[in-house]
Structure 1
Amino acid sequence: MIKILERQTFLIALTFVTGLFLFLLKPFFAPILWACIIAILFHPVQLWLKKKLGEQPNLIALITLIACIFLVVIPFLLLLTSFFQQGSALYQRIASGEIQLAQYFDQIRRAFPVMQQFLERMDIDIASLQKNATEVMVGIGSFLTQNAVALGIGTFNFFTKLALMLYIAFFLLRDGRQLIEKLIYVIPMGDERERLLFQNIAGVARATVKGNLLVAMLQGTLGGLIFWILGIPSPLLWGVIMAIFSMIPVIGAGLVWVPAAIYLYTITQWFEATVLIAYGVFIIGLADNVLRPILVGRDTKLPDWMVLLSTLGGLTLIGVNGFVVGPLIAVLFVAFWQIFGKDFNVGKYAYQDSNSEIETNAEDSIKSKPGKQL
């Protein structure tokens, strides 16, 4: 009785301390998440380096991390810098009156009276919508220009978390295999189940990040290219925005190029608007409808509707990190139920297998006696 009480007390204390430690790590959720993703994505590079250099874990982890910095981190920072530069330039044009959002709304309303009637039927006030859009654009730019100190602190926090992510990634690249083996040893769910779960987690993280990022980069590049060809201002800015929106399956980059095409129609640029719509449907949309199921759905072994719902749910709950966490939760949900079905329906499966074996033997017996076939 005393041993049972001691074990229960220890388990309660273990749960409390673990929860407290996870709560302590909550502010660093994003750096830890992306450090794990780096370790998963660049694991093949590690294996290749291991064949070339032998057992040198520190050197291999360092070379892999340097490759990650040059292939991913530096291009991302350059793109982010250009994004803010074009965003600031766009705000300056709005603040100076060179770009008047109210005029754009009026042109769209005059060119598409059906749209105005639809909005009125939906009890959407066009004037308030126009005012809110203007205030949002001006507010964003005002925040960036008037809160330089806060922006500087935010930049400092960003680079601090970036450095923390790279620091954690180095140790995960070096000691990740041993860490997984220790987790398999201490988690009391059965080694086979745990290995299956870790394989599913690694597979879905690799497929989700690789697939979504490739699709986002491709759609953003294609969208920015057509904006540049058609002479739409700030093509790099809109290309990055399309890449961000493309994280949302189905809807994606259409949130940018569809309004742009509508506006081109309102200013009677019929050819450019038609080209943009055709390009958006058959080129930008094709990348989403063809590549995403191949790169994401196939490797995660999830149906398209579950990928969509889990991605949207993750983005809604925890922001941009949700496009990875959402599908991870979905694949764990499926994996746990598959394990449950396999472990708790053994007798049912055995009965079905025996029946199928009996039916097969019966069919073979009937085929061997043609005279008695029904």
Structure 2
Amino acid sequence: MDVSRGFMLVVIGALGALSLAIAWPFLQYVLLAVLIAYLLAPVYERLEPRIGGTGAALALMVAATGALILPFAAMVAFVGNDAVDLAQRLSDSQVDLGGLEAAIERATGQEVDLPAALGAAAENFAGVFLGSAPDLVGAFTHTLLGIALAAFMLFFFLRDGRRLVDWLFEVTPLPDRVLSDLATRIDDLMWAVLVGHVLVSTIQGFLAGIGLFATGIPNAAFWTLAMVLLALLPIVGAFLVWGPAAAWLVLAGSPVAGGALFVYGAVVVSLSDNYLRPILVDRRARLSPATIMLGVVGGLYLLGVMGLFFGPVIVGAFKVAVETFDEHYVDR
């Protein structure tokens, strides 16, 4: 490698690192724009011949922004208030958890203060949605800038996405057959994870939420959203909420409601996961539940909320890259 070539690579690496540092404060919104653009790409391809690339991208940007922001704002207010109410109820000891505390103490030999622990968790959850008073203005400004950036980038990802992909193919130093194979596999992976995995989790969380509402669990909206997020974790998922909720109903003196919730969760909620996930996710992604769980948990820590969606894609893409290398570059 000559000096000029090495120097140019150093410049590219330094500028790439600086670009990542600039984008990092708004990385969640950039990833959100990538996610929405990927999902809307088939719709854009149908609209583009009729109203032009700019018109199609603008129409989809406006529709997606309105369809996502308004429901999201309503959800934040509703679930955030529900979380605050739950924290207050637990702090004021309006919820009797004495029976469950006694059962835990008998089983483990350790004393627990469930109202305090759950109240603190609910307050932290509310803080994620509503923010704290000193940071409220800053958080609101950051959110507005992020939404504007996401909408702006969504427009250009839709309109110029094909050119961006073609450019990546052109500058990537791999043979066309390898690139084509890699792109096809990653596309299948992304569609399975971003559409199937998220769709299954949402259905499972809302089905479990119906059971909570029907059996009179307090603050059911709060717990429904929690189950939608927990359902992203394979196997355990929403059971982490509806299982203890059924036990709480039994210990609180409502064994029929508790038993009904447990049967509903075991049959309807669990079967929805067992049937839908293999159809929508496993068949195309070919990822084990362990890989998806690692991607979800690790992605959440590394990338924040959007890591719930992109974490499994990144881990799965590593598997795809290894398989592609094995097929095209390993002599047998």
> Where does residue 154 of structure 2 map in the other structure?
169
85, 89, 92: which is aligned to 2:85? 89
2:2 aligns to what SS in structure 1? Answer: helix
> Where does residue 116 of structure 1 map in the other structure?
105
Relative distance call for 1:308 and 1:297 in structure 2 (3 A) is farther
Work out whether 1:13 is the aligned partner of 2:11.
yes
Calculate the TM-score normalised by the size of structure 1.
0.80
Work out whether 1:243 is the aligned partner of 2:228.
yes
Give yes or no for contact 2:33–2:153 (8 Å, CA) kept in 1: yes
TM-superposed CA distance for 1:57, in Å, is 0.9
252, 260, 272: which is aligned to 1:287? 272
TM-superposed CA distance for 1:288, in Å, is 2.0
TM-superposed CA distance for 1:330, in Å, is 2.4
> Where does residue 27 of structure 2 map in the other structure?
29
Give yes or no for contact 1:30–1:321 (8 Å, CA) kept in 2: yes
Calculate the TM-score normalised by the size of structure 2.
0.89
Q: How does 1:1-374 map to 2 (within 5 A)?
A: 4-53=2-51, 56-95=52-91, 97=92, 99-100=94-95, 103-104=96-97, 106-110=98-102, 112=103, 115-120=104-109, 125-127=110-112, 131-137=116-122, 147-346=132-331, 348=332
TM-superposed CA distance for 1:282, in Å, is 0.9
Describe the superposition over 1:292-330 as per-residue Cα deviations: whole angstroms up to 9, x where unpaired.
232122222323443333333323443332222222222
Describe the superposition over 1:16-64 as per-residue Cα deviations: whole angstroms up to 9, x where unpaired.
22222222222222111111111110011011113433xx110010112
Partner amino acid, structure 2, of 1:16: A
Whole-Å separation in 2 of the counterparts to 1:147 and 1:77: 17
Partner amino acid, structure 2, of 1:108: L
Relative distance call for 1:72 and 1:295 in structure 2 (3 A) is farther
Whole-Å separation in 1 of the counterparts to 2:31 and 2:195: 15
TM-superposed CA distance for 1:116, in Å, is 2.5
Percent of residue pairs bearing the same amino acid type: 27
Deviates more, 1:42-51 or 1:67-76: 67-76
Partner amino acid, structure 1, of 2:246: A
Partner amino acid, structure 1, of 2:204: Q
Partner amino acid, structure 1, of 2:30: I
2:112 aligns to what SS in structure 1? Answer: helix
TM-superposed CA distance for 1:135, in Å, is 4.1
Gapped runs of 5+ residues in structure 1? 349-374
Give yes or no for contact 2:208–2:224 (8 Å, CA) kept in 1: yes
Give yes or no for contact 1:197–1:335 (8 Å, CA) kept in 2: yes
Whole-Å separation in 2 of the counterparts to 1:337 and 1:217: 31
Whole-Å separation in 1 of the counterparts to 2:121 and 2:48: 52
Whole-Å separation in 1 of the counterparts to 2:131 and 2:50: 53
Whole-Å separation in 1 of the counterparts to 2:24 and 2:130: 30
Whole-Å separation in 2 of the counterparts to 1:166 and 1:88: 31
Question: Is the radius of gyration larger for structure 1 or structure 2?
Answer: 1
Aligned residues: 332
1:251 aligns to what SS in structure 2? Answer: coil
Partner amino acid, structure 1, of 2:107: F
TM-superposed CA distance for 1:142, in Å, is 8.6
Whole-Å separation in 1 of the counterparts to 2:113 and 2:267: 35
1:188 aligns to what SS in structure 2? Answer: coil
Gapped runs of 5+ residues in structure 2? none
Give yes or no for contact 2:36–2:154 (8 Å, CA) kept in 1: yes
Whole-Å separation in 2 of the counterparts to 1:310 and 1:35: 20
